[in-house]
Amino acid sequence: MPVFLIANPKGGVGKSTVATNLAGYFARRGRRTMLGDLDRQQSARAWLKLRPSVLPKIETWEVDADAIARPPKGVTHVVLDSPAGIHGHGLKEALRAADRVIVPLLPSLFDIYATQAFLARLGERGMLKDSGRVGVLGVRVDARTRAAEQLQRFVEGLGLPVLGFLRDTQNYVQLAAHGLTLWDVAPSRVEKDLPQWQALTEWAER
């Protein structure tokens, strides 16, 4: 049973967007999926309350950031949404529970520097020894900008899997407002977005 931690200490990088859509992907494929929220704001849990009951079920995982227990028997996939500024004991517990870590990253110099320091901490904890445990995902990326080129160069130099680049679109905002994910609407509505998740989902399935 894989546990995916969505983590970056920098706020506003799209962690909850990635967490909810990844959980939606697993649920759509018939997996018994749980979504845990380590953030005090509980954004992911609030999103679950909006989710229509007719859609593939995503269960709530009651988690304590200071002592993360294993999920119930029968669960096949777990996604953990983490707060901004996660560090110390909270980070240690989250990494202990996680099989894989997805690091969302915005195409800005400040976010790149903050993420570089976070990845260094993951390296200190031995998370980067196995290149299949940590992957980087570019978020809100406009491929036509210099910032996108800078992000591409940074990610390529990490020696970690690049899980893709998600474009800046209101689709995620509009879907989240109704408890939905990309996988819950007609493919024609999100035809530019679904292909951008292919590398991530293939990595998650391995």
Please state, in angstroms and rounded to a whole number, the distance separating the CA atoms of residues 156 and 199: 15
Q: The whole model's pTM is what?
A: 0.91
Domains of the chain: 3-205 (3.40.50.300)
pLDDT in tens, the chain (206 residues): 899 999 988 888 899 999 999 999 999 999 999 998 887 777 888 899 999 999 999 998 766 555 566 677 889 999 999 877 777 777 788 888 889 999 999 988 888 888 888 888 888 777 776 667 899 999 998 877 887 788 888 887 878 888 989 999 999 999 999 999 999 999 999 999 999 999 999 999 98
Q: Sheet holding 77-81: strands in order across?
A: 58-61, 33-37, 77-81, 3-6, 100-105, 134-138, 162-165
